[in-house]
């Protein structure tokens, strides 16, 4: 994704996080709102359609969640504390899972 598009995603993510508290708690809802803002032609389309056509239209869920993390790092007032604690606990679980299930050579 090009720098201009990444900056646009970051700006839109910040705007949405400021307006809608639920987007601070639920990444799926944040992704939905960003897609609605950036790609209104996808509004009302089926989930399958969005998933099968998103890449060719430049939709990147990962870019949206990365932008959320970056915005929340710059603006801690946009962080939902309970959600942050849950995400940190899940991150530790993933790290544990990766360490326990690491298969050399893969």
Q: Where are the domains of the chain?
A: 3-100
pLDDT at 70: 96
Task: Look at phi and psi of residue 35 and say left if phi exceeds 0, alpha if psi is from -120 to 50, else beta.
Answer: alpha
pLDDT score for 106: 53
For residues 100 and 32, what is the distance between their CA atoms, to the nearest angstrom? 34
pLDDT by residue (tens digit) across 1-55?
688 888 999 999 999 999 999 999 999 999 999 999 999 999 899 999 999 998 8
| pLDDT level of residue 94 (50, 70, 90 thresholds) | confident
- Check residue 105 and give its pLDDT: 56
The predicted model scores a pTM of 0.80
Q: Identify the burial level of 23 via C-beta atoms within 10 angstroms of its C-beta, where 0-12 means exposed, 13-18 middle and 19 or more buried.
A: buried
φ/ψ of 44, rounded to 5, equals: 90, -10
């Amino acid at each position: 994704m090009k720098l201009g598009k990444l900056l646009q995603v970051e700006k839109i993510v910040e705007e949405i996080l400021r307006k809608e508290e639920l987007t601070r708690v639920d990444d799926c809802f944040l992704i939905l709102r960003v897609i609605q803002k950036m790609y209104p032609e996808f509004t009302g389309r089926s989930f399958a359609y969005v998933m099968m056509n998103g890449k060719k239209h430049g939709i990147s869920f990962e870019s949206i969640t990365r932008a959320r993390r970056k915005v929340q790092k710059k603006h801690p007032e946009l962080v939902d504390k309970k959600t942050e604690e849950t995400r940190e606990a899940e991150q530790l679980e993933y790290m544990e899972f990766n360490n326990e299930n690491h298969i050399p050579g893969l």
